[in-house]
Chains A and B, each alone.
Chain A
């Protein structure tokens, strides 16, 4: 860990001023950032502790949705009455992540910004373009078990590892972002994380000095909500593959299919073509297969993670079967 300065502002204005310079970082629950600082993966000059800001509330929005403050803990969000009744997918996704102790500290903003679990990223004696642009990618020829099969580049094949944002992508949530002297901007969760391309050092669209203030969920929609997380250990493990789904049926046909996937890309993966394909269809194994064909059309494995291609296909089929009541 490098020595660093530490500030604890009381207001959002002050906080955005303090986070404006390069080499500063916001710290919320610290469950990801402190680990990475100990490993010298993150080396901020100054830490801006945002925990004194009042961004922890969870409140109804005018249009019937819900606004979850950036500092709401994962535990509080998952336990919130409206989350449990209207957005059970989100509660389940959060509860499928990390451990109770971590969730008690982890926040909405921190969870969105958590960094990849790529083994090479966290080992500073290994090449990694994300940590050290231009140094190479250790994972491509190495142990890529956790890595992505969609949207990869020659520069980076890492995944966004979290669960919460995958559910939020299926629910089409919006991220609220602010910076010094500017008013809040809104970015769909689906566009918040980015693909690695040739700048894998950038996980998401946050600009230097920007702070996430919260996330809004649109008014709840009809449909069955499912979060399925596949992993070898039943708790305290990141997803090998996860599927978040909001699926509705009308007269025996699929009338809504909002799907997002975790563990397979640098971002929660949302492919709008899936909804187009599925809506209007009578659910069946063949239809699910077609959806998987489309989803995985460009999928590419890197040896160790080849299994994610069939696994994603099967996890998708199981989720859709569960959502539509089809026996497979």
Chain B
């Protein structure tokens, strides 16, 4: 099914199982907390060798020689694999082809160049340190590391009207420069793969988000046909973008297994994960906002400088939501990319909005103050009717509702907008808010649904569940459509032997593959209706039977019935702009002496279309808001200015928020159905939770203590430096 029209009447609303949307706990949860759900490195594979990657201790240059002699002489060492097909970078999300190979050409500090394989992990790890590598490293003075010190390339530019004039003629304006630090995905499960080769077919257990693309990437890298490759990724211990494309360990394991004709496991160390997997680019942004007396925007400018390695297409899409979030006749949106030798920049947790929205929303807060308009009111006054440049209508737009419901739940006090209104001992207390916005994405997806002769159902797709609840919600969609309780639906994911799903990324999984399951179930319902001699509209299924009549088992008559659902996005995105919207409200305490900031409470109100499972949806929002706290206060990659290596490359020194940093988070899911977003009227959730939340915290810091910090994260030193002295 190709969606070209809004799905206004959705079958899901006519069903009777009453399963969809219910707050059901994750079906694989028990297996995960009892340690019985195998992650990539944990599959029991006999006779398995262990590989450890060797990485380059220099930023740019060429490996001229690898002397394997000493290393091969060590106990247990089986081989040193150095093959030009090994990959030197991680593949970008949805690449569908091998990333840069030729590992001897080094482009960043820590780039994998070879694999040492031994009988045990300890042997391999020690031997890896004994590999003698000769290299020609380029003079450090000639290698660019600092994005602000190179001439950038222009990446995108849209303009309308005359921003400069609008700024000059405005009754209020803001011209602000903000920066955000680089981020790591920081998933708990390190990148790992076990590869098996039987002489003609390659099977790889890996930790990946998008098998539907990864299979092509791996096949391309190792010169095999897709049909000869099988990828298995049943459980993924977090991805956050870092497992969208295949990484170096998967290809290295595959090549080693093929060369050595024994299974090979490669697990990256935590440091390697940080040093060679995708980073989010740091950004330098300039926001120019012009408004009339009433705060209505007349000019909107957003510039961003991001960075990446030479040759990488990806550029952190900082301006994504700025394109359509607010009105303003005169617009200028521009982005540049600086080419620097840090590891590949790619998709990390809500690429674009995660850093673009916080900057924009701090500028909006400044404008609210300039114009003397309450920040919530300022946003309400600037919600555009249609896309401000293209004029396309929104499919559904819940920003206003989110702002209002969030403000009410949070008890937003528009009277306390002057900083330093509340002191509690050592602490300043203040509040701030920000809008949330994230483009909605969908992707082609297939899923097979089989009604078993015993009256249960099975859903199969190579879609992954990266901890978000995909297993659970797909069972809910199928159960709702087929009149089955959740425990009668078995969901099998993460194996390329199943039909191609959409992959988990860009928050598109639930809407895309959920729609594929929905389409398959519709086809099944048609067949069942025929058998029952009713029209499909009349077919009411509940608890394994036609309501008050024949059971499914009888209808199936001893035979399985299977249908494959195929969902394609279609042209509808030309007719509508679809996006998730929301609003954040935060209360913080800022220490008057030390500048330490603690979030006291936070409310997020979000509209993302149909809620498929109230519990997993809420968890997604909570996760996103937690990342917002990280962006706001703690997360930053630090690169050495001399040789460009990443210095804080573990979870002790790269600071994601810990429990104590995260107060009870209040989540409001605003009722919404978006018929143009997907056939099941759902939109993406996960990333929306972090698209602007950091600004609510930043604005609260300002409101609390008067420190208008322009650099994320707002660590104590930065807050102190900006805090008016008393």
Most chain A Cβ neighbours within 10 Å, of B598, B638, B640: B640
Q: Is B658 an interface residue (CB 8 A)?
A: yes
User: Beta-carbon contacts of B619-643 to A below 8 Å, as 1s and 0s?
Assistant: 0000000000000011000111110
Q: Given B647, B648, B655, B720, which contacts A233 in the complex, CB threshold below 8 Å?
A: B655
Is the CB–CB distance between A232 and B655 below 8 Å? yes
Is the CB–CB distance between B596 and A141 below 8 Å? no
User: Beta-carbon contacts of A278-295 to B below 8 Å, as 1s and 0s?
Assistant: 000000000000000000
Find chain A residues with CB under 8 A from B269 CB.
Answer: 38
User: Beta-carbon contacts of A65-89 to B below 8 Å, as 1s and 0s?
Assistant: 0000000000000000000000000
Is the CB–CB distance between B647 and A142 below 8 Å? yes
**Stretch from A53-61, A183-191, A314-322 contacting the other chain:** A314-322
Is the CB–CB distance between B653 and A117 below 8 Å? yes
Given that A232-B596, A232-B634, A307-B720 are known contacts, is A141 also in contact with B122, CB under 8 Å in the complex? no
Query: How far apart are the CA atoms of A324 and B85 in the complex, in Å?
Result: 68
Q: Given B593, B641, B652, B716, which contacts A232 in the complex, CB threshold below 8 Å?
A: B716
Q: Is B657 an interface residue (CB 8 A)?
A: yes
Q: Is B57 an interface residue (CB 8 A)?
A: yes
Query: How far apart are the CA atoms of A128 and B552 in the complex, in Å?
Result: 71
Most chain B Cβ neighbours within 10 Å, of A232, A235, A322: A232
Find chain A residues with CB under 8 A from B655 CB.
Answer: 232-233, 237
Is the CB–CB distance between B638 and A234 below 8 Å? no
Query: Closest A-chain residue to B629, C-beta based?
Result: A233
Find chain B residues with CB under 8 A from A314 CB.
Answer: 593-594, 720
Find chain B residues with CB under 8 A from A240 CB.
Answer: 716-717
Find chain A residues with CB under 8 A from B598 CB.
Answer: 234
- Grouping DSSP codes into helix (H, G, I), strand (E, B) and loop, the B interface class, with mixed when no group exceeds half, is loop
Is the CB–CB distance between B713 and A232 below 8 Å? yes
Given that A2-B126, A142-B640, A232-B633 are known contacts, is A120 also in contact with B720, CB under 8 Å in the complex? no
Smallest CB separation, B129 vs chain A (Å):
6
Is the CB–CB distance between A307 and B721 below 8 Å? yes
Q: Is B162 an interface residue (CB 8 A)?
A: no
Given that A232-B716, A315-B593 are known contacts, is A141 also in contact with B641, CB under 8 Å in the complex? yes
Given that A1-B126, A40-B129, A237-B655 are known contacts, is A307 also in contact with B717, CB under 8 Å in the complex? yes
Given that A141-B642, A142-B641, A232-B713 are known contacts, is A318 also in contact with B594, CB under 8 Å in the complex? yes
Smallest CB separation, A60 vs chain B (Å):
34
Find chain A residues with CB under 8 A from B641 CB.
Answer: 141-143
Smallest CB separation, A295 vs chain B (Å):
15
Which residues of chain B in 457-483 are interfacial with respect to chain A, using CB atoms and an 8 Å cutoff?
Answer: none
Query: How far apart are the CA atoms of A124 and B128 in the complex, in Å?
Result: 13
Q: Is A231 an interface residue (CB 8 A)?
A: yes
Query: How far apart are the CA atoms of A1 and B271 in the complex, in Å?
Result: 14
- Grouping DSSP codes into helix (H, G, I), strand (E, B) and loop, the A interface class, with mixed when no group exceeds half, is loop
Query: How far apart are the CA atoms of A233 and B599 in the complex, in Å?
Result: 11
Is the CB–CB distance between A119 and B648 below 8 Å? yes
Is the CB–CB distance between A233 and B657 below 8 Å? yes
Is the CB–CB distance between B593 and A3 below 8 Å? no
Is the CB–CB distance between A120 and B647 below 8 Å? yes
Q: Is A202 an interface residue (CB 8 A)?
A: no
Query: How far apart are the CA atoms of A2 and B122 in the complex, in Å?
Result: 8
Smallest CB separation, A210 vs chain B (Å):
28
Is the CB–CB distance between B125 and A235 below 8 Å? no
Smallest CB separation, A247 vs chain B (Å):
16
Query: How far apart are the CA atoms of A85 and B129 in the complex, in Å?
Result: 50
Query: How far apart are the CA atoms of A142 and B648 in the complex, in Å?
Result: 12
Query: How far apart are the CA atoms of A2 and B721 in the complex, in Å?
Result: 45
Query: How far apart are the CA atoms of A212 and B269 in the complex, in Å?
Result: 33
Is the CB–CB distance between B721 and A233 below 8 Å? no
User: Beta-carbon contacts of A34-52 to B below 8 Å, as 1s and 0s?
Assistant: 0000111000000000000
A binding-site residues for B, Cβ under 8 Å = 1-3, 38-40, 117, 119-120, 123-126, 138, 141-143, 145, 230-237, 240, 307, 310-311, 314-315, 317-318, 322, 328
B binding-site residues for A, Cβ under 8 Å = 57, 75, 122, 125-126, 129, 269, 271, 426, 591-596, 598, 633-634, 638-642, 645, 647-649, 652-653, 655, 657-661, 713, 715-717, 720-721
Q: List 15 A-B contacts (CB under 8 A).
A: A2-B126, A3-B75, A3-B126, A117-B653, A119-B638, A126-B645, A141-B642, A230-B716, A232-B596, A233-B661, A235-B661, A311-B716, A311-B720, A318-B591, A328-B593
Known interface pairs A3-B126, A126-B645, A141-B641; 13 further A-B residue pairs with C-beta atoms within 8 A, sorted by A's residue number: A38-B125, A142-B642, A143-B638, A232-B716, A233-B633, A233-B658, A234-B596, A234-B660, A307-B721, A311-B716, A317-B593, A318-B426, A318-B592
